[in-house]
Structure 1
């Protein structure tokens, strides 16, 4: 009597391959048969080139694995999304929004600062009208005329800036002559301006910029001082000290120099200047081939 209960052992593919691997094939003479079929494997250069080709921006979908194809499509989508520009200036919408927000915040902070500064100086307040609008027609004409004259004497200052400052002085109650003199002295000694040596005492700051000629140099008794002497121009002269650690270029007697950021010092009631590491020295007459 046959039984309907059939027992079947299920063998996986890996187990079958393992069993076949243990089987040894022999020939008629009993010798082991060796499979001489060559196994082709990619070289290191081929593997590297395959990775380069699959990750190249111009790589095509054909010939790629499924994983490489998905990576390529994802990269193309990301590049297309990133390159979505706001306008013809090649700026993304996010960059444009960030720039607008930063500019808006900067304007608000400036307005708050100007309002606080307006408590001390009325002309700093953002709601204060231009002083030139508060002048009469004759006063405005005089201010414009004087600003043209001052602009010829003050380098680096525009006629508009000078006329605005003159108008502020006049609105505050000063006479036209006093306003012209005050504005000239103020702008002449302003920060960043090359001022006359005779005006160093009047400069209300710790650093000044001057231009003059080295009159004399003498030996220093201190090893911390590289050079010491006198510098002069048409308005006066003053002592100049060059500190050793400042690493400034060497100056010669009779040489014209332009110095920016010289430290102002006082000794025995007299003002002098010193060159530090923050100072810069220029020699306008060096390298003038036509005087050689």
Structure 2
């Protein structure tokens, strides 16, 4: 017995062709239609970064217009950090070029230096009352005749003593006279004191009276001789108008070679005693100058 429950569906030729093409669209002749539009796909790294950014709390919450479009959060953070760094550098440059800032810095440094010097002089005043910065100039206690003589002698001594002003010499002379010395004794004492002061070129004949381990001298190299010690570079005699002394140049001092008959000025020479006589030695801390040696560009 045949069943009448079967159902039939009429399918058009175009629909049959579409099904045979696997669901792909076909034209009126039944040929598949090819879509020539290129399809762009994200790389694995882009997909991974997109997932990270999408799941980041800031990326989800921040939808303001301040965000930089087209970049990831990591890139945006680097851009913002660079902009902040440039703003900081610009602000520092602007502060550094403010008018008067350099002068104010020098003024502050000079003020602090003066304060430290004044405090040092106050401590030194416990030994020598005349160095007290709050004490009046001793020349104010001199008579008019004494002051005139002090000014005359200070002018004369200033021509012989390098680095000492007339005012400084006059104050020392005033101290000596107020302390009870006559003018002649004061002049001799101040001259010897300042002549052998640190940094001054000491007459070779006065080296024995200098109570320091380092001295500065100037004179002519009268004689050089060879040394038996490999530690000595040169050894000889140096002389000025006041006397002569032995000078030794150590090999490790890296000093220039000295020639006989040459005038030299030595700063920071080490003072030594040998067989009861004073001598000097050039070390790595010493400096040697040749006042009469011609410069190579001349």
TM more than 0.5: yes
The aligned counterpart of 2:94 is 83
Distance 1:105 1:26 in 2: 92
1:133 to 140, 160, 163: 140
Gaps of 5+ in 2: 1-21, 42-66, 70-75
2:130 to 115, 123, 126: 123
Residue 42 (structure 2) pairs with residue 36 (structure 1): no
Contact 1:25–1:32 (8 Å) recurs in 2 = no
Change (3 A) 1:283 1:26: farther
1:269 to 269, 273, 276: 276
The superposition leaves residues 137-187 of structure 1 with CA deviations (integer Å, 9 ceiling, x where unpaired) of 111111001111112222222111111111111111111100000011111
The aligned counterpart of 2:10 is none
TM-score (norm 2): 0.68
Change (3 A) 1:211 1:98: closer
Q: What is the 5 A alignment of 1:113-262?
A: 113-262=120-269
Q: CA RMSD in A?
A: 3.8
SS in 1 for 2:244: strand
The aligned length equals 241
Distance 1:105 1:97 in 2: 11
TM-score (norm 1): 0.70
Change (3 A) 1:85 1:232: closer
Gaps of 5+ in 1: 1-23, 40-63
Contact 1:27–1:33 (8 Å) recurs in 2 = no
Contact 1:25–1:33 (8 Å) recurs in 2 = no
